[in-house]
């Protein structure tokens, strides 16, 4: 936090910006000069995209804050930094509640995409090619006469990228990774859920890093490094038996698995159980008969004395005595 400055408060939530964020904005604005045919207008286009990214990221993080409050939690602060945004929220709810908190951020891009699509239609008719985020984000020419429709299309595609990347990429600490982890925690315990989370996060992090390198996108590559670092941290805590120290897993249950439906038993297992059940019934019946015989002998002793017992009756008392002493 020593490298941040305050931007203000919204809905009682402190918003701060990392000092490197303006540097990132400057880097992308200067890309307008590097692109073919670039100039002041293209630099202005990139400046508009970065301003839209700042606003979009803020609304995204507010979605997390509102989600946390809706499940009885709290929202303290939002940090806007080069790799996106961080919402400092907390709640004591279940993994199901945390899925709601994680999903609320990306879902904010849906109304934003609708707003920018509506603004785009003021200047240009709708085309399904607008959904292709891999095409040029400023396809209308000349730029001097089509600056605003190009900017609205760029901001519309930005919402699509952020929606699907955050929601559908199952790598922690992205929102999709948090959703996956919570789903695993609902079915398995902390250790197993953490291992599976890193199983997805590590290859995805490597892919993001390589893609950033190939596209010469420094920040995208750095995002891949961050994902790999988070996965390494989780792996290290699992190996040390301290995964409960990680905030993602701290409130999760400790069981290793959730038993599923009892499997159907085979014929041999049912036959053995039936034999054991019948043997138990026979043992109980024999014990009942033995107690009745002992009671009859004791009643005779009390009535006629010990000398009246036959050899068989004396044997019955001796057997009962050995059983009571635990002898075979």
Q: Measure the CA–CA gap between 156 and 140, rounded to whole angstroms.
A: 15
- Number of neighbours of residue 176 by Cβ within 10 angstroms: 21
Please tell me which residue, 311 or 196, carries the higher pLDDT value. Answer: 196
Give the residue-averaged pLDDT of 60-76.
Answer: 93
The residues, ordered by sequence, that sit 6+ positions from 141 with a Cβ below 8 Å of its Cβ are none
More confident residue, 153 or 304: 153
Q: For residues 220 and 28, what is the distance between their CA atoms, to the nearest angstrom?
A: 12
Query: pLDDT for 301-319, tens place per residue?
Result: 777 777 777 887 777 777 7
Span of 116-120, 152-156, 227-231, 283-287 with lowest mean pLDDT: 283-287
Half-sphere exposure at residue 214, Cβ-oriented, CA atoms within 13 angstroms: 6
Long-range contacts, 35-41 (Cβ 8 Å, 24+): 41/143, 41/144, 41/147
Tell if the pTM clears 0.85, that is, is over it: no
Q: Which of 183, 194, 188, 198 is nearest to 97 (CA)?
A: 183
Q: Return the percentage of the chain with pLDDT > 70, whole number.
A: 91
Cβ atoms of residues 228 and 206 within 8 Å: yes
137-160 residues labelled b (16+ CB within 10 A) or e (exposed)? bbeeeebeebbebbbbbbbbbbbb
């Amino acid at each position: 936090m020593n490298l941040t400055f305050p931007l203000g408060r919204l809905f009682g939530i402190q918003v701060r910006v990392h000092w490197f964020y303006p540097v990132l904005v400057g880097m992308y604005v200067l890309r307008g000069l590097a692109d073919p045919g670039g100039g002041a207008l293209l630099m202005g286009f990139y400046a508009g995209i970065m301003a839209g990214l700042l606003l979009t990221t803020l609304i995204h993080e507010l979605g997390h804050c509102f989600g946390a409050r809706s499940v009885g939690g709290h929202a303290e602060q939002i940090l806007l930094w080069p790799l996106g945004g961080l919402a400092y929220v907390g709640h004591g709810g279940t993994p199901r509640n945390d899925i709601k908190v994680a999903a609320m951020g990306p879902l904010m891009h849906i109304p934003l995409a609708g707003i920018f699509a509506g603004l785009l239609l003021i200047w240009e008719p709708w085309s399904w090619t607008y959904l292709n985020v891999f095409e040029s984000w400023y396809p209308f020419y000349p730029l001097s006469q089509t600056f605003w429709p190009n900017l609205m299309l760029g901001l519309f595609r930005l919402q699509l990228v952020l929606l699907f990347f955050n929601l559908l990429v199952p790598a922690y600490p992205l929102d999709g990774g948090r959703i996956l982890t919570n789903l695993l925690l609902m079915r398995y315990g902390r250790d197993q859920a953490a291992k599976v989370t890193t199983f997805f996060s590590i290859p995805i992090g490597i892919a993001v890093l390589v893609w950033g390198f190939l596209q010469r996108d420094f920040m995208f590559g750095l995002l891949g490094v961050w994902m790999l670092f988070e996965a390494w941290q989780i792996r290290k805590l699992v190996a040390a038996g301290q995964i409960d120290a990680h905030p993602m897993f701290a409130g999760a249950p400790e069981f290793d698995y959730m038993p599923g439906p009892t499997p159907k038993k085979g014929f041999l297992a049912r036959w053995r159980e039936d034999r054991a059940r019948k043997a138990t019934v026979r043992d109980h019946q024999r014990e009942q008969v033995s107690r009745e015989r002992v009671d009859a002998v004791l009643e005779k002793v009390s009535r006629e004395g010990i000398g009246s017992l036959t050899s068989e009756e004396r044997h019955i008392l001796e057997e009962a005595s050995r059983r009571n002493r635990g002898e075979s």
